Amino acid sequence: NAGVTQTPKFRILKIGQSMTLQCTQDMNHNYMYWYRQDPGMGLKLIYYSVGAGITDKGEVPNGYNVSRSTTEDFPLRLELAAPSQTSVYFCASSYSKAPGSLQNEQFFGPGTRLTVL
Amino acid sequence: EDQVTQSPEALRLQEGESSSLNCSYTVSGLRGLFWYRQDPGKGPEFLFTLYSAGEEKEKERLKATLTKKESFLHITAPKPEDSATYLCAVQALMRGYQKVTFGTGTKLQVIP
């Protein structure tokens, strides 16, 4: 089991460029999440998904988009990158018997460090 | 709105000096509280889940406890390898799914 994998590990973007952060999990988890972590600010939820084809906004969705066409993959799209999107991005997954049921613990990927200049 | 507050923000201990980290929360209908450890440059790693007041869990030098308003992570005789940021998160039901809210963490440094 590779767990949760993220690519790339590092990326530098210019203002206005776009990119996709990739996330894949091989644990057959139904829940998947995208967080951003700024220094001293904790984890902020960007988007989450309770299963393939179902996504919803978290606390800080502006400037981002997601899709979930398969159980395994949950890519995060940045359109028109801005310096405020400089951060470390973590993807995570967890298992729940049903969307409203208790979730088990989240498994996190190694993160993508993004700088927008 | 659900809130999770961790204290202190940073803690420096001598090796062997026991202490506790605090996680206080205000949430409607707590369904679970999680503790994670995060090493620099890595993603958080799961430690414990607590579901009800009075519950305790232990793992090596770590012991987590839960009351109706807060959780403590007790560290007994810490070693330098326990240095990390410790995050707590609370789970509550919102809009038909179990929402998880993270605190900002306590950065622990254990000095040899």
Provide the pLDDT for residue A99: 64
Provide the pLDDT for residue A65: 97
Cβ neighbours of A35 in B, within 8 Å = 102
Contact in structure between B31 and A102 (CB atoms under 8 Å): yes
Q: Is A95 on the interface with B (CB under 8 A)?
A: no
| Structural domain count of chain A | 1
Flag whether A113 is in a domain.
no
Report whether pLDDT(A19) > 90.
yes
Closest of B41, B61, B65, B39 to residue B52, by C-alpha: B65
CATH architecture of residue range(s) B3-106? Sandwich (2.60)
Flag whether A114 is in a domain.
no
Flag whether A115 is in a domain.
no
Q: How far apart are CA B105 and CA A22, in angstroms?
A: 26
In the block, tokens 């995208």 appear at A34
Domain that residue A62 falls in: 4-105
Burial environment of residue B81 by CB neighbours within 10 A (0 to 12, 13 to 18, 19 or more): exposed
Q: Is B68 on the interface with A (CB under 8 A)?
A: no
Categorize the per-residue pLDDT at B96 as very low, low, confident or very high, splitting at 50, 70 and 90.
low
A 49-78: CB under 8 A from B:
50, 56
Mean pLDDT over A84-106 rounds to 88
In the block, tokens 């057959």 appear at A28
Token pair belonging to B104: 């900002």
Instruction: For B30-80, give the DSSP string.
Output: EEEEEEEEE-TTS--EEEEEE-STT-EEEETTEEEEE-SSEEEEEE-S--G
Mean pLDDT over B64-91 rounds to 96
Flag whether A112 is in a domain.
no
Report whether pLDDT(B106) > 70.
yes
The CATH number covering residue A57 comes to 2.60.40.10
Report whether pLDDT(A101) > 80.
no
Q: How far apart are CA B8 and CA B15, in angstroms?
A: 18
Q: Is B32 on the interface with A (CB under 8 A)?
A: yes
Provide the pLDDT for residue A2: 83
Encoded amino acid at B52, one letter: S
Mutate one of A43, A45, A87, A106 to test the B interface: name it (highest B CB count within 10 A). Answer: A43
Q: Which residue of A has its CA nearest to B104?
A: A42
Q: How far apart are CA A24 and CA A49, in angstroms?
A: 13
Cβ neighbours of B32 in A, within 8 Å = 102-103
- Tell if the CB–CB gap between A102 and B100 is shorter than 8 Å: no
Flag whether A77 is in a domain.
yes
Q: Is A46 on the interface with B (CB under 8 A)?
A: no
- Tell if the CB–CB gap between A99 and B96 is shorter than 8 Å: yes
Report the percentage of chain A scoring pLDDT > 90: 82
Categorize the per-residue pLDDT at A86 as very low, low, confident or very high, splitting at 50, 70 and 90.
very high
Residue A108: which of B32, B41, B44 has the nearest Cβ?
A: B44
- Tell if the CB–CB gap between A111 and B43 is shorter than 8 Å: yes
Closest of B41, B9, B36 to residue B90, by C-alpha: B36
Contact in structure between B30 and B92 (CB atoms under 8 Å): yes
Categorize the per-residue pLDDT at B27 as very low, low, confident or very high, splitting at 50, 70 and 90.
confident
What pLDDT, in 10s, does the model give residues A20-68?
999 999 999 999 999 999 987 889 999 999 899 999 999 899 999 999 9
